Amino acid sequence: METLRKKLLALDGRGYKAYQSLAGRYAFTVTVGQLHFNLSIDHIQGDPFALPSRISVWVEMAQARLPDALWRDAVRRVALEDFLGRALNRAIGRYVKGRRGSGCSGEIAIAGSGQQVLPRNAVLISATGVEARLTFGLPAANRRAAGREAMVMFFDELPRLVAAALCFDNLDAAQAQRHVHSVEDQHALRHWLRREGLAAFVANGAHLPRAGGVDDRPLHNHTLPLAAPDSLTRSVTLPNAGHVAGLAIPAGITLIVGGGFHGKSTLLQALEYGIYNHIPGDGREQVASLETAVKVRAEDGRAIHAVNISPFIDHLPFDRDTVHFSTDNASGSTSQVANIIEALACGAELLLIDEDTSATNFMIRDQRMQQLVAGDKEPITPLIHRVRELYTEYGVSSVIVMGGSGDYFDVADTVIMMDAYEPRDVTQQARALARPIEAAPAGLPAFEREAARCPGPAALDASRGKRPVKIDTPETGLLRYGNHRIDLSQVEQLIDTGQTRAIGLMIHYFSRHYATDCRSLVKGLQQVMADAEQFGLDHFTEYKVGNLALPRLFELAAAVNRIREGDWH
């Protein structure tokens, strides 16, 4: 501690690069409150305008005093790590002055969390203690080290953060328990779905509308808490919340219908994010979908590599191959088919589809169009002809928002009408309107659940110029991987920049460890995910960072599938 103080005094006013001498570990003892922790300065920025420096603090469990019951298993540990990370973020807002010069001078930050609770490496709990990883903007005045300002950050602000957020005695124990219990209940709810043969569940009282298109926080004004119709109400007993009743969406084919602005897409979006646990107060804490649920949509212009789209698209003009179909510029229907086939290969058991973001000619062909364009002239088999088979033969359920066509009544098991954000069971009325649909053409190709396809070395090359590895994540929906620009903006269940950053590192890891003998992309990526579960997110980076969040297999595979360049085999 005193060594660091002397170094800061000595470099005050010198060139900014003098900060490089600070790298290392320091033991802190703060008399007030008898606080002890270790500081590690892991990386020092070369310029005040560069990315901030990285530090980590370690607090022994005897000092942190985190109750065993709140982190005794993996689910609870992730929940408590999330709670501590949020507590640190709040403490930064209270105790850190912030701007102390040019560039990012004076900033202290921890990787942010949204409404979801994700496995991260910003805060890590073990039996011996808790570690928090922060970015730390070393202050500068005209590109010179502001050592005295840095002293305030290290010796005043940082101890306050550690005491406020990493010492349990200073935290709200009731809030911590509520946070952990809520996450544990959501995890249990998802397991209950599978046991009961359900696709999704929305608890009575849930608040689904969001504050805005880019604001995932709850909209509190002018919204009604959800109340399930009696015919679709099921009850579950959760470990902490106890008895909970709500809307149970059974496995099979479910339609969500209703007028415009009545909440159809809002319900579907809640189900999209039902694969994640949510923080208390979000309104969707007791909304759960099967963890293998995948939102699929049309995605004009995406690249497709050697995908077997023949179950939906076959007999193309000029005998173009659809068993190993590739294109650099997919149409809406072709991209949506590829998205479904790729999701099935990863093990999807629930498809979430919104009419508004789907290709019309993939969803339906009405009777008059079939009369005008003969079947042998139309290579696309609409989803309506195969959605029942997906469930009965492959166990894949579908939840489809449909506002403009009643033809799906003919294949639906359950029909929910949203009326001013209230769900109503109109299955019987829909069945009364249903008509037998025209049979699908005979001899349609079967669906491939295990595709033998893998990217070649060029697709997985992360090098760029003189840099052997260049992976950058400017935003959640964009990954720059070497010379590749991977557009993930329409992979809708990717929700956090930390996930995108981890995806880039995991693709590079896959290229080095499993791609050489790869016969199946999905099997190789499953091994990467298994390594993530066994060794943690730090396994994928050569240096310590705290800005990674765990993605699912589906989003990891989606990123690889959207690399434009490179041969596939």
Q: Where are the domains of the chain?
A: 2-171, 183-450, 471-561
pLDDT at 14: 94
H-run or E-run covering 264: helix 264-272
The confidence score (pLDDT) of residue 33 equals: 67
- pLDDT class of 106 with cuts at 50, 70, 90: very high
Q: Are 299 and 335 in contact (CB under 8 A)?
A: yes
Position 161 pLDDT exceeds 80: yes
Rounded Cα distance, 186 and 328, in Å: 40
What is the model's pLDDT at position 351?
Answer: 98
Mean pLDDT of 476-496: 96
Distance (Å, whole) CA 143 – CA 368:
72
Residue 458: pLDDT over 90: no
Q: What is the 3-state secondary structure (H, E, C) of 65-131?
A: CCCHHHCCCHHHHHHHHHHHHHHHHHHHHHHCCCCCCCCCCCCEECCCCCCEECCECCEEEECCEEE
Count CB neighbours of 412 within 10 A: 23
Residue type (1 letter), 324: H
**H-helix or E-strand spanning residue 277:** strand 277-278
Lowest mean pLDDT across 153-167, 218-232, 276-290? 218-232
pLDDT-based confidence at 263, cuts 50/70/90?
very high
Architecture of domain 183-450: 3-Layer(aba) Sandwich (3.40)
Q: What is the mean pLDDT of the chain?
A: 93
Instruction: Kindly report, residue by residue over 319-359, the tens digit of the pLDDT.
Output: 688 999 999 999 999 999 999 999 999 999 999 999 999 99
Tens-digit pLDDT profile for residues 8-46? 999 999 999 999 999 999 999 887 668 999 999 999 999
> How does residue 404 score in pLDDT terms, banded at 50, 70 and 90?
confident
pLDDT in tens, 310-323: 999 987 765 688 99
Average pLDDT, integer, range 133-137: 97
Kindly tell me the burial class for residue 488, based on how many C-beta atoms sit within 10 Å of its own C-beta (0-12, 13-18, 19 or more).
Answer: buried
Contact 525, 557 (CB under 8 A): yes
The model's pTM: 0.95
Statement: residue 58 has pLDDT above 80: yes
Q: What percent of the chain has pLDDT over 70?
A: 96
pLDDT digits (tens, 9 = 90+) for 501-544: 999 999 999 999 999 888 899 999 999 999 999 999 999 999 99
